Amino acid sequence: MVEILFFAWISDKTGESRIKVSVDGYSVQEVKSWVEQKYQLGTGALSKTMTAINEEFSENDDRVQHGDTLALIPPVSGG
């Protein structure tokens, strides 16, 4: 199982702050696509979302493993 953490608007749209799912071996991009489909966010909705695996920034081609925590961190704007 992999724990996925949702922040900001992603948490609002999914109604979740964290979930545990069986996506062991998926790439970060595959997990993003899975989340987009499961929560009907629309294809590409998470394209600009930064990610971190076990508190270290990650790339879309990095893979998550059993026991990892993946954070989905949307861009922040403000003034």
Q: Which domain CATH number covers 69? A: 3.10.20.30
Q: pTM of this prediction?
A: 0.93
Task: Tell me the residue range of the domain where 12 lies.
Answer: 2-73
In a domain, 69, yes or no: yes
In a domain, 78, yes or no: no
In a domain, 54, yes or no: yes
Segment 15-30 mean pLDDT: 98
Q: Of the candidates 65, 68, 58, which has an alpha carbon nearest to the alpha carbon of residue 24?
A: 65
In a domain, 50, yes or no: yes
Dmax over CA atoms of the chain, in Å, equals: 39
Instruction: Look at residue 33 and give its three-state secondary structure.
Output: helix
Instruction: Look at residue 34 and give its three-state secondary structure.
Output: helix
Q: How many structural domains are present in the chain?
A: 1
Give the pLDDT confidence of 64-76 residue by residue, as tens digits. Answer: 999 999 999 998 7
In a domain, 79, yes or no: no
d(CA 40, CA 31): 14
Task: Give Cα separations from 10 to 16, 25, 66, 73 (angstroms).
Answer: 8, 23, 23, 8
